[in-house]
Amino acid sequence: MNSTHFERAIFISWYCSKRDCKFCYLSSNPNISQDPKKDRRTLASIFAEAIICKACGWKVEFLSGGCDTYTDKELLNIIKTIYKITKQKQWLNIGTLNKQQLTLFKPYIEGVCGTVECISPKLRDEICPSKPLKEIEEMFKIADQLNLKKTITIIIGLGETIGDFKHLKDFIKKHKLKKITFYRLKPQKGTIYENKQGPKTKYYVEWIKQTRKAFPKIEIVAGSWLTHLDEIHLLLEAGANSITKFPSIKNFNSKYARQIEQECQKAKRIFKGTLTKLPKIKELNSLNLNKTLKEQINIRLNNYLKRMKKPKQ
């Protein structure tokens, strides 16, 4: 029986210098002032989450956040520490990065993620006006020079049609992508998608099916949402390797978490890791971190564990 697992993106900031991707909650109110120094998570919270991921057997999908929040030195510290905690080289999903940055992060990263989101040529220009595909492709060229892997994110339901799969196929081929993450559109309040429906399951599954058929070896990660968890077995059967986008700490051992594990069984996959059994944490003592930070991480960890323990439906 094949196995599957859960991948959790670790979110490191909610500041973003772009703020105009039409589906993103950050574009919903461009007048709210943002500050890269304030609109970021604390290190303790980021590292505590990485510890939880490791203990539960969740892979860190990528470190994710808006563009231009941290200095390179700050980013290096985060990436290096998460690498130490998880013993896993990280993927970065924090906008386009230059050669100097990627060279600096290289010892601790597996690769980079291009936030393509929408592959339909004209539509993409409207939806992501400040993230031109060209810049992502430039980053991929540098990744090739440095021997780093490449992945992209695609959101299904932004207005594309299945006829656009040919563009995705060409893009994956051109850049020899190792991995791809699909999300279903979750319409955000205040965005142009607010009153739209997300994609139908059949249509969403079709994108994964066609990707798997065209690329038998690519790693496919598929996101679902609480309202559509009964599609997970279909996403896996269509060719997804793993699943993502589940609020796994907040909904730990809930009916949703149990449903995901059951959906994996339905697709005849062994689920590696757990969304339902509270983990034992032992990583903290072995980490070479300063005393104050360790104390702060401990407080965050206990908060997360409390949330995970809390009885839910």
16 binds ligand SF4 (CB under 6 A): yes
Complex with ligand SF4: residue 19 or 300, whichever CB lies closer? 19
Q: Which of 66, 199, 223, 273 binds ligand SF4 (CB under 6 A)?
A: 66
Q: Roughly how many angstroms between the first and final C-alpha of the chain, as a whole number?
A: 30
The three-point CA angle 84-90-95 to 5° equals 135
Question: Are 220 and 214 spatial neighbours (Cβ–Cβ below 8 Å)?
Answer: no
- 312 Cβ neighbours under 8 A, 6+ residues apart: 251, 252, 253, 254, 255
Judging by beta carbons within 10 Å of its beta carbon (0-12, 13-18, 19+), is residue 258 exposed, middle or buried?
Answer: middle
How far is CA 167 from each of CA 25, 32, 106, 199, 222, rounded to the nearest angstrom?
Answer: 26, 35, 30, 19, 19
**What's the token pair of residue 111?**
């690769």
d(C-alpha 272, C-alpha 266), whole Å: 15
Using the rule CB under 6 A, give the single segment among 19-27, 155-163, 243-251, 272-280 that binds ligand SF4: 19-27
Complex with ligand SF4: residue 128 or 205, whichever CB lies closer? 128
5 binds ligand SF4 (CB under 6 A): no
Complex with ligand SF4: residue 130 or 145, whichever CB lies closer? 130
Question: Are 202 and 238 spatial neighbours (Cβ–Cβ below 8 Å)?
Answer: no
Minimum gap (Å) between residue 159 Cβ and ligand SF4? 16
Complex with ligand SF4: residue 16 or 305, whichever CB lies closer? 16
Q: Which of 19, 175, 184, 245 binds ligand SF4 (CB under 6 A)?
A: 19
Sequence letter at residue 150:
K
Nearest to 80 by CA among 52, 47, 53, 54: 47
Q: Which of 4, 7, 9, 27 binds ligand SF4 (CB under 6 A)?
A: 27
Complex with ligand SF4: residue 21 or 238, whichever CB lies closer? 21
Q: Which of 21, 97, 119, 127 binds ligand SF4 (CB under 6 A)?
A: 21
Minimum gap (Å) between residue 67 Cβ and ligand SF4? 5
Q: Which of residues 117-156 bind ligand SF4 (CB under 6 A)?
A: 131
26 binds ligand SF4 (CB under 6 A): yes
24 binds ligand SF4 (CB under 6 A): yes
112 binds ligand SF4 (CB under 6 A): no
| Residues contributing to the site for ligand SF4 (CB under 6 A) | 16, 18-19, 21, 24, 26-27, 66-67, 131
